[in-house]
Amino acid sequence: MGDLEREIAREQAVVDRALTRLEVLRTVAAQRERESLHGTGTGTPQAVYERDVQALAAAARRVDLDAAGEGLVFGRLDVLEGPALHIGRLGLRTEDQEPIVVDWRAPAAAPFYRATAADPLGVVRRRTISCRGPQVTGVEDELLDPDAHLDGTIVGDGAFLAAVSRERGAHMRDIVATIQREQDLAVRAPDDGALVVTGGPGTGKTAVALHRVAYLMYARREWYGRRGVLVVGPSPVFVDYIGAVLPSLGETSVRLADLGRVPVLPRSLTLDGDDDPAAVAVKGSARMATLLKRAVRHLAGAQRISDLELIHWGYAFTLPVDELLRRRSQVGRSPRSHNAGRTAYVAALVEVAWRAWERRPQAAKPEPGDREDFGRWLRSDPAFVREVDKAWPVLAPLQVLDALRTGKVPLAKVAGGLYDDTEQAVLARSWPSTSFSAADAAVLDELATILGPPPEPEVDPDDAWDELSELDALAAEHGVTTFADRNRGATRAPALDADYRTYAHVVVDEAQDVTPMQWRMLGRRARGATWTIVGDWAQSAWPDVEEVRRAMDEVLGKARLRSSELSTNYRTSTEIADLAARVLHRIDPAAVAPEAVRSTGVVPDWVVTDDVVAALPAALSALLDQVGGTVGVVVPRALRAAVRAVVDDPRVAVVDTWQVKGLEYDGCVVLAPEAVVAEALTEKAGLRTLYVALTRATQRLVVLSTHAEVWLD
């Protein structure tokens, strides 16, 4: 048996021991979950609550254990003092509390990421352990202190470069075993404000953000678990790509959403619209918030109002229109939302009407409760309700947006002075579509804020809903045993368009492409929250980068800011990085590209052709033979349909220049770079988009272009 086989066998024994212990803990957790669900308690609300808490805690523990099996042990630290430590996704101990695996988030595991030859932090050897299922397939050692005594043999030629050179799959793998010092410092940075992580393509910004979430959940689980963590990505493709990372790190309670699905939208609304860059720029501008306020005011004042004549108990009295207008003006000057303003307006009119009723001839001294009875009568009087609906209608976000899309609200009237004629034409061309886009989601969320929830209907105290009795009846009928189940069984759905939950921590990936309107949307879900924001301004597709920066700064407010810049490119080879650097130089001659750490010896293949779509099948066939993992075809928006019609291979993903943000492939074909630049609103924005496209490949890059490569310069 050779040295490598012997070391693999040693680590296999540790992995086997850890998996055996994991299975025992899974069995215990499942048993506790069953016992909690079947328990009945003493019948008191407190006992039922405690039972539910125990059941949910047991279920969460079981889910964590179920997610930890794949790649449970991935590292080992041999240290100057004490026994070797094995690092893994989950901390495991024997029944006697002897450590088997140290959780990667624990302080004891920090040297696995931070130790260097210059500063070994007491580490003699750092070993990366590779597994496929339950089997150890390889080990790679880094000797950080050559003079120290070691138990065993040094094997491998550097774990990190071996790890980053592995083939990519359809979903992002966590790189918990290969995070380097500068990344780990960002992962474990204090959570007392906003951490802004910047860095060029391939520097591991997304991995840092996701591992930071897992670390924070580990370090302060009670706080973040109670208030929640939101991770936001630019597109559904990206969210699907990163979706398996946090569960693999032991975190299954974090909400992941693309920008279009951050708000809770009506169930009937689907976001399948496809805005072009011009429409995204107009809808995403902060000016849109002012336009929407104008649209609401236009709809609110669309109907003329008149004197309101009322009859109560045979006595007729009038509320003059001047009084109605005066009260509406007074309430309208308050900072309330529109629908809350209606409630205040109604209350003001009830007060005016009551005074008029008290002044009637032969009015008797009011008895206790008369005023409340009068108010209930007035609020239900058909004539009163009709007049209030005319003066201050209840509005819903979709109702207002549909009025803009259909022209019921004249666009020129509400957009004047905000958007020029060209921008108004862009909106007029985009909005009549039956489809809604991710940019429309932010518009709807802004409208939900301007409007507020609709007023609660008047409820007779004698008809009030007995929630406890209804839940008890549901439990008896359906065998519901937990609080969550009872909520799912309730007959009353939550209000739509009203998800304003404030999270404890918000992660924003590809922050350079979050529009000002989307930043406002995120800010509403992060009042008092801490942030992790990652991005690279050189990759922004937004035509006015400074507008995005201002929007981000406004949302962050006075939060303590920490920054971390990642300077090492782990994704692309030096050959691919050199090609991309030429585009970066055109974007900003002073910009410095991140340093690539590995070379493949394969330069990108730039193919000049008159028909890039026709040339694609041959280029793809060659590339699929050369790489063993996934291949991405990055296309301008105008070529998506044509390219998808000629590509039929499960290893190949066809994505446009927006969808590809944050993704990576073993091999990549970029079609028509000149068209990528041309379809953007400005040349600078187009070059930034092309820079993204050229930096997605980990091994091989092919560019099909109608221009020679010198076009880059």
Contact of 163 with 178, CB cutoff 8 Å: yes
Comparison of pLDDT for 353 and 32, the residue scoring more: 353
**Per-residue pLDDT tens over the stretch 430-453:** 988 778 999 999 999 999 999 999
**Amino acid identity for residue 123 in this structure:** V
- Identity of the highest mean pLDDT range in 101-105, 210-214, 218-222, 615-619: 615-619
Distance CA 673, CA 705 (A): 6
Are the C-beta atoms of residues 426 and 278 closer than 8 Å to each other?
A: yes
Q: What is the pLDDT of residue 47?
A: 57
Question: What is the pTM (predicted TM-score) of this model?
Answer: 0.74
Q: Which residue reads 């047991």 in tokens?
A: 58
Arithmetic mean of pLDDT, 234-244: 82
Is pLDDT of 311 > 60?
yes
Sign of CA dihedral 401, 406, 409, 411: positive
535-582 residue pLDDT tens: 999 999 888 889 999 999 999 988 899 999 998 898 899 999 999 999
The pairs formed by 483-488 with CB atoms below 8 angstroms and a separation of 24 or more are 483/49, 483/52, 483/56, 484/52, 484/56
The CATH number that domain 194-263+499-565 falls under is 3.40.50.300
Q: What per-residue confidence (pLDDT) applies to 22? A: 87
The residues that bridge with 142 in the sheet, in sequence order, are 126
Give strand pairing partners of 634. 655, 670
Q: Yes or no: say if 375 and 354 are a contact pair by the CB < 8 Å rule.
A: yes
Residue the block writes with tokens 């007049």: 387
Q: Is residue 102 very low, low, confident or very high in pLDDT (cuts 50, 70, 90)? A: very high
For residue 662, CA distances in Å to 5, 69, 530, 694 come to 37, 27, 23, 12
Average pLDDT over residues 661-671: 93
pLDDT at 177 over 80: no
pLDDT value for 479: 39
- Is it the case that residue 57 has pLDDT exceeding 70? no
Class of domain 574-712: alpha beta
Domain ranges in the chain are: 3-157, 194-263+499-565, 277-298+396-451, 304-391, 574-712
- Is there a common fold for 194-263+499-565 and 574-712? yes
The answer for 179, left when phi > 0, alpha when psi is -120 to 50, beta otherwise, is beta
Helix (H, G, I), strand (E, B) or coil at 226: helix
Share of the chain above pLDDT 90, in %: 43
Average pLDDT score over residue span 134-142: 86
Closest CA to 128 of 288, 236, 8: 8
User: What's the average model confidence in pLDDT over 83-107?
Assistant: 89
